[in-house]
Amino acid sequence: MLQEMGSQVMEIYDFVVSGIDPRLKPYPLMEKPGPMSAILLFYLFFVLYLGPRFMANRKPFQLKEAMIFYNFFLVGLSIFIVYEFLMSGWLTTYTWRCDPVDTSDSPEALRMVRVAWLFWFSKIIELMDTIFFVLRKKSGQITFLHIFHHSFMPWTWWWGVGYAPGGMGSFHAMVNCSVHVVMYFYYGLSAAGPRFQKFLWWKKYMTAIQLGQFVLVSLHATQYYFLKTCDYQFPIIINLIWIYGTFFFVLFSNFWIQAYVKGKRLPKQDVKASLNGAAAHANGPKLHESGTTGKAVCNGASNGAAHHENGGSHTSKMKKA
């Protein structure tokens, strides 16, 4: 009985994996879902158990220089990804409406495959957001939504990129990386120290940029439901993108109201941190995307809402958006 069930499970697994675009197979971590799943499981193990135990009797690491390099590196990487998305279709052959995945081996199609993979791989790099929190003992930033965004979202994006590297489903990835250019630039300046605080007066507008991202993503996905015909090959991806964009729009709208309409600007611990001159703490909140305070959001993306998070705690991440 167990052997039969195991055989059926393997058949389903083989069927699902067989749907991965063969053009992606040569790229690192794309041949099978096992390696990337192992990375994400180790991430969870480190963040939830190993890291806190390692830091329990140690002083927080400062990591100022490392965070400055990390954030500005992601600024450069995000700019490159946006440019590649534009040159691979969005400024060349795409209509910005019903754009199917180009499954050919044309130079432009292969360029889109490459940048789609790079977008996903950037989410693996962004796991360092949480690693920095752990090593700096910023446990207040490690909320449920943050961990969810940084682990589950890259896992689902692996399948999305694997099945549909390009087409209208890639719009949210391009927009997400555009937002990350601004976000990581902000975090980089924040990590650089108090002397840069005078240049960070636009923090409030980070949330507005996030809201704009979710509006654009949801509107672009919504048009699919009103098109008479559309040959985009993976409608389920459009459905998930619409749900994702709408959910985080509601989440960030609530934060905007609490922070800038009702005046509930910062949680107590963050007010105290800012009074102590802990400017580096500003690099903390990232709701991802893949969606959450900073991330979403690549970011959505994560990102997203902490990019991404947990009850009242996720607002501490969103404030940095």
Active-site positions read 149
- Would you give the end-to-end CA distance of the chain in angstroms? 52
H or E segment to which residue 309 belongs: none
- Burial bucket for residue 119 (CB in 10 Å: 0-12, 13-18, 19+): buried
Residue 155 corresponds to which tokens in the numbers above?
Answer: 């896992």
Going by C-beta distance under 8 Å and a sequence separation of 6 or more, which residues neighbour residue 52? 134, 139
- C-beta separation of 194 from 279 below 8 A: yes
What is the DSSP track for 243-254?
HHHHHHHHHHHH
How many Cα atoms within 13 Å fall on the side-chain side of residue 310?
A: 11
Residue 8 corresponds to which tokens in the numbers above?
Answer: 């059926």
**In 3-state terms, what secondary structure has residue 320?**
coil
Residue 280 corresponds to which tokens in the numbers above?
Answer: 């580096």
Closest by Cα among 87, 157, 79, 80 to 121: 157
- Burial bucket for residue 262 (CB in 10 Å: 0-12, 13-18, 19+): exposed
What DSSP designation does 276 have?
T
Q: What is the four-CA torsion angle of 210, 211, 217, 221, rounded to 10 degrees?
A: 160
What DSSP designation does 29 have?
T
Three-state helix/strand/coil letters over 51-74: HHHHHCCCCCCCCHHHHHHHHHHH
Compute the distance between CA of residue 138 and CA of residue 130 in angstroms, rounded to an integer.
Answer: 9
